[in-house]
Copies of this chain bind each other. A is one copy, B any other.
Amino acid sequence: MADKTNRLKARLPRGFADRGAPEIAATRRMTDAIRDVYERYGFEPVETPAIEYTDALGKFLPDQDRPNEGVFSFQDDDEQWLSLRYDLTAPLARYVAENFDALPKPYRSYRFGWVFRNEKPGPGRFRQFMQFDADTVGSGVMAADAEMCMMAADTMEALGIPRGSYVVKVNNRKVLDGVLEAIGLGGEAGAARRLTVLRAIDKLDRLGPEGVRQLLGEGRKDESGDFTKGAGLDTGSIDRVLAFVGSKGADANATLANLATVVAGSAQGEAGVDELRQISALTTSSAYADDRVLIDPSVVRGLEYYTGPVYEVELLLETKDEKDRPVRFGSVGGGGRYDGLVSRFRGEPVPATGFSIGVSRLQAALTMIGKLAGQSAPGPVVVTVFDRARTADYQKMVSALRGAGIRAELYLGNPKNFGNQLKYADKRGSPCVVIQGGDEKAKGEVQIKDLILGAEIAGLSKDRDDYLKKQAEAQFAIPEDRLVEAVRELLVRRGVSWS
Residues on A close to B: CB < 8 A?
1-4, 7-13, 16-21, 24-25, 39-42, 44-53, 55-56, 72-74, 76, 80, 82, 94-95, 97-99, 104-106, 108, 114, 116, 127-128, 136, 138-139, 141, 143-144, 146-147, 150, 154, 281-282, 284-288, 343-348, 377, 379-380, 391-393, 395-396, 398-399, 402, 405-410, 412-413, 424, 427-428, 498
Contact = CB atoms under 8 A, between A and B. Distances in A.
Contacts of A24: 45-47
A99 B18 CA distance: 10
5 contacts: A1-B348, A7-B345, A12-B52, A139-B412, A143-B391
B395 A285 contact: yes
Contact of A412 (B48, B144, B345): B144
B379 A42 contact: yes
A170 to B, nearest CB: 15
A343 B10 CA distance: 11
A147 to B, nearest CB: 7
Contact of A344 (B7, B53, B106): B7
A18 B102 CA distance: 14
A348 B2 CA distance: 7
A114 B402 CA distance: 29
Contact of A13 (B11, B12, B82, B410): B82
Given A13-B82, A286-B399, A410-B143, A19 B7 contact: no
Q: How many copies does the complex hold?
A: 2
A137 to B, nearest CB: 10
Given A41-B402, A392-B282, A409-B41, A347 B49 contact: no
A408 B42 contact: yes
B40 A20 contact: no
The 6 A-B pairs at the shortest CB distance, nearest first, are namely A42-B380, A42-B409, A10-B97, A139-B412, A285-B392, A286-B399
Contacts of A391: 141, 143, 282
A459 to B, nearest CB: 24
Nearest to A55: B8
A222 B136 CA distance: 58
Contacts of A380: 41-42
B98 A12 contact: yes
Contacts of A399: 150, 286-288
A23 to B, nearest CB: 8
Nearest to A349: B1
B128 A51 contact: yes
Nearest to A498: B39
A3 B25 CA distance: 49
A216 B427 CA distance: 52
Contacts of A13: 51-53, 76, 80, 82
A104 to B, nearest CB: 4
A294 to B, nearest CB: 17
Contact of A42 (B19, B39, B428): B428
A75 B42 CA distance: 42
B76 A74 contact: no
Given A10-B94, A106-B412, A47 B18 contact: yes
A287 B398 CA distance: 12
B428 A395 contact: no
Contact of A396 (B82, B286, B377): B286
A335 to B, nearest CB: 16
Given A41-B409, A413-B106, A50 B50 contact: yes
